[in-house]
Amino acid sequence: MIATFLESGCMMEFFRKYQRFFLIAITAVVIASFLFFGAFSTYTDQSAEMEDRLVTHAIDGSKLMRSQVQKLSRFLATDQQDISYRHGPLPNFCNDGVIRQDLLQTGLAEVLVSGYFDSMREGLQDLLEKVKHYHPYVHPEAPFLSAVVVWDRFVPGLHQAISTLQQEVEITPQVFTQLTHLYQFQTRCPPEWLRRILLFQQQQYSWVKPDPRLQQEDFSLFGCHTLSDWFGPHFLDLCAEFIVNAARAAEQKGYRVSLEEAKADLINHFSFAAHKVPELNFQSHLQLLGFDEKSASEVWRDVLLFRRYFQGVGQAVFVDRLPYCDFASYALESAIVQLYEWPQALRFKQFSDLIQFQFYCQAVAREENPLALPSELKALEEIEEQTPELVQASYSAKVAKVSQEEVGLRASVKEVWEWELGEKNWEALCKQFPSLPAAVSPEERFKALESLPIVQRNGIDAFARKALVEAHPEWIEAACPAPTFQEIHLSKTLCSLPYISQPEAFAASLETASVTEMPFRYCDDGVHHYQLLDVKKTKEKHLLTFESAKAKGILAKLVERKLEKEYIAQPSRWGKTFLEVKDLVAADLYRPLLDAIDQADPREWKTGEGPLASYPPRRLLSSTQTAWSALQQEPLDGRWIQSGGDPLIEQFKLEKKEQQIQRVAKEEWMKEEAFAMLPHQWSSIHVPPDGEIAFFYFQEKKPHPAPILEQLALGKETIAADAKRFLAERLLEKAKRKQSIIIPLPGETK
């Protein structure tokens, strides 16, 4: 160590002594480096200028140089929206989307490619091969986590567009059009958004194993990142040459854009988009793109000239307002109606809906007419005695549940063995499992247990753990998870909590706990243990509405129990299993109802779901006809329309609401009748197959106010787009005559 120290000291002394010479030598090398690389840079710049060559002459006769085309192509290759592409090239914050918005969305790109399709064919052919072999992402363990599912939710039509393109056999201009649509589809759902949505969905399912591909895989469509990937290697050069020629034509028409104006526009675009990357400034961003302020401004000046030329043509389009006003006054004229329809729960679509409703009506009211709706209900006590499931009380509490099996797992293997080998416990085991020998010593007991098959041994262990739990009740409280807030609904025979076999006893415990505000534990099956805290009674005994009883599945169980009882009474009559003839049993049991429906509506209904399917939509027709007649005499008749009274009675009344209908509305039956009627008239009763029986009172017509600005703007935009395409076609014809566009560029392969 001392030798090393002395050696380093000598070394430092050497550097101090000759530091001046080292400084002179380093300075000389640095100066030489700057001189060399500076001269080399000048040489390479001059070489690049010497290599620049004439491509062709523009429309106005000016020279179109290779460097000019390539600079514009490079500047337009990416735009602001490309920042959302993880695997893509560097986004250009100064480009607000020239190719994307001015050429692809307007259809001008289709005009360009059609004019030079032979030069573009090879690049599009390569892409079509990639499209045919493309398979969207699907999670290996959960097929419902896939790109297609996300697209169908957020970008409807994308998957269908891919499938259509994959069926193309040869390259045509139509293939390019399909590609432009897919490119714009991907703009609405960029690859990184798709990745994040799939990652989020994967996290919602704890049982799904995370797929590492979601973190690294490229989700770009067909693996395309750049415009060259999408539309071939010559597409950008074609667009660049067209823009330059359009700029020269604009200058001939008198359009002018200065470099300062172009620079200001670039800075404006950069400021708008670069807030996502705050550490980046305008100059450094241009350097990353391979430009300085002067060269970028020169490139952008041509873009601005092109834009102003085409925008000027579009804005010069004249659209006559009169046809739009006439159309709107007819198509957008509104009819104000008072619509009467039954509550959602009473719109019967299935035969089972009809039977459940009839069962409910008979349970809560006395009506001799099977088609009548309850207007007065039975006493709550009578309903509870006959159908206790429909009468419930409600409580709220913090509930924790644990099973005895879960608690038994707290016992260690040692504790289980010790219990099983105990002399008294062995006697209990022998009574429960007679195959066990009456062994005397603990060693003999151990050997007897070890020799048992695994299934029998597991049964003995479960029995032992259960006995240990009974001996240690404190384990149950310790094993309970954190309680969660729950609503508890109780009737004499039902409880919303599972594993409660004695609802009345449980209700008594809840009632006591709600008064004393004391927590309590409850278990009536010896297996499932509940711990309840903060018990509060939220609602006294009450009758469930039809909608609530149906939603909870109570009516379905009650009806099935009744039908099964009817089936068992005479099984030989049906000749099939109960599930096969359940609807026929119901039809036989409720035959008076079906006959009454046929009598009220003698029309023949033909449906594809069997003869019974025609009854549910017509169940309320008789009541609707009575209400329709009564409301014409007294529009506010509270017997038929809801007025905020008792919800148990209101559930059997019509809902009334004001609605505005236009001639272009989806409600075909309403608009057909409304616009053929005079104000202050009543419509006929509409009885559709989905059970949404309704009618309306036509109040007044309401003309659409002028002017029709939105429709006018849409019409002008459509005509302006046609004008721009026409201008592009004329420019291309002129460029072809003068050979002002050369694709591919000289020196490149076709």
* φ, ψ at 528 (rounded to 5°): -105, 120
Q: Are residues 32 and 68 in the same domain?
A: no
Question: What are 525's two structure tokens?
Answer: 């099956």
pLDDT reported for residue 729 = 83
Give 10-residue mean pLDDT values along the chain (750 residues).
39 48 45 40 39 83 89 86 64 85 84 84 83 86 84 83 84 84 80 84 82 81 80 86 89 88 89 72 86 91 87 56 49 81 91 94 89 91 93 92 80 83 82 80 82 84 83 78 88 89 89 87 84 91 93 93 90 84 91 90 62 88 92 89 90 91 70 80 87 89 60 56 78 86 74
pLDDT reported for residue 39 = 38
List all residues 6 or more positions away from 593 whose beta carbon is below 8 Å from its beta carbon. Answer: 358, 370, 371
What's the CA gap between 168 and 179, in Å, rounded?
Answer: 12
| Residue 468 placed within a domain | yes
pLDDT tens digits, one per residue of 637-671? 889 999 888 999 999 999 999 988 876 666 667 77
| Residue 737 placed within a domain | no
Q: Which amino acid is at 127?
A: L
| Residue 232 placed within a domain | yes
Q: Are residues 75 and 217 in the same domain?
A: yes
List all residues 6 or more positions away from 313 whose beta carbon is below 8 Å from its beta carbon. Answer: 720, 723, 724, 727
Cα 195 to the center of its chain, rounded Å = 14
**Residue 5: C-alpha distances to residues 8, 19, 103 (Å):** 5, 21, 73
Q: Are residues 162 and 306 in the same domain?
A: yes
Query: Which residue among 702, 717, 740 closes a domain?
Result: 702
Q: Are residues 91 and 80 in the same domain?
A: yes
Q: Are residues 285 and 273 in the same domain?
A: yes
pLDDT reported for residue 313 = 67
What is the pTM (predicted TM-score) of this model?
A: 0.51
Q: Are residues 29 and 91 in the same domain?
A: no
Q: Are residues 140 and 45 in the same domain?
A: no
Q: Are residues 191 and 120 in the same domain?
A: yes
pLDDT reported for residue 14 = 45
What's the CA gap between 114 and 172, in Å, rounded?
Answer: 9
Domain ranges, residue 694: 334-350+617-702
Q: Are residues 179 and 223 in the same domain?
A: yes
What's the CA gap between 401 and 143, in Å, rounded?
Answer: 34
Cα 482 to the center of its chain, rounded Å = 33
Q: ω into residue 707 within 30 of 0, thus cis?
A: yes
| Residue 573 placed within a domain | no
Q: Are residues 239 and 307 in the same domain?
A: yes
CA angle 207, 208, 210 (to 5 degrees): 130
| Residue 8 placed within a domain | yes
- Concatenating the DSSP letter of every residue in 428-485 gives HHHHH-TTS----SHHHHHHHHHTS-HHHHHHHHHHHHHHHHHH-THHHHHH----EE
Q: Are residues 151 and 210 in the same domain?
A: yes
| Residue 584 placed within a domain | no
pLDDT tens digits, one per residue of 181-233? 888 887 777 888 888 888 888 888 777 888 888 887 778 888 887 788 878 88
- Compute the residue count for the chain: 750
Q: How would you write 480-525 as a 3-class SS string?
A: CCCCEEEEEEECCCCECCCCCCCHHHHHHHHHHHHHHCCCEEECCC
| Residue 507 placed within a domain | no
Q: How would you write 299-346 as a 3-class SS string?
A: HHHHHHHHHHHHHHHHHCCCCCHHHHHHHHHHHCCEEEEEEEECCHHH
Cα 617 to the center of its chain, rounded Å = 33
Kindly report the CATH number assigned to the domain that includes residue 694. Answer: 3.10.50
First to last CA, the chain: 72
Pairing of strands 54-57, 63-65: antiparallel
**Number of domain units in the chain:** 4
| Residue 71 placed within a domain | yes
Q: ω into residue 679 within 30 of 0, thus cis?
A: no
Q: Are residues 421 and 463 in the same domain?
A: yes
Pairing of strands 694-702, 681-682: antiparallel
